[in-house]
Homo-oligomer: A and B are copies of this chain.
């Protein structure tokens, strides 16, 4: 369960798609990449992963691009991170079950940590991020005046 650059990029891309969700028109990799300052060839791979994970769908050919596969409020951040990080299980988590009592105890703590991270990520959807974005946008305009 990482919070790597990959996940951040994925979030940004999906948020970009969520912002244009009502239009119903696909957005291109290049667009998103320049808008969100992400290396485009890298973003391409991430979007492919998200597509295989069923979070976005793509349209090929000219005027093609990517669209959210679901409504923004039906996509939790947990789904995104799990899709992109691919259920990493570092720390020899599942493999090699704990032999000593002590290691069982430690694993329980690890489990608790993982659980709380999950619940944080699960309580937010793309819609929430979009709303936060809009709020912040408004704030910036206010300051500008």
A residues neighboring B (CB under 8 Å): 1-5, 7-8, 11-12, 15-16, 35-37, 77, 90-93, 99-110, 112-114, 116-117, 120-121, 124, 129, 132-133, 136-137, 140
Contact = CB atoms under 8 A, between A and B. Distances in A.
Contacts of A108: 132
Contact of A124 (B2, B91, B109): B109
A113 B100 CA distance: 30
Given A91-B5, A116-B117, A12 B102 contact: yes
B102 A3 contact: no
A50 to B, nearest CB: 15
Count of identical protomers in the assembly: 2
A136 to B, nearest CB: 5
| Among all A-B residue pairs, the 5 with the closest Cβ atoms | A11-B106, A3-B91, A116-B116, A4-B91, A105-B132
Contacts of A1: 3
A103 B101 CA distance: 43
Given A102-B16, A102-B133, A110 B8 contact: yes
A136 B104 contact: yes
A16 to B, nearest CB: 7
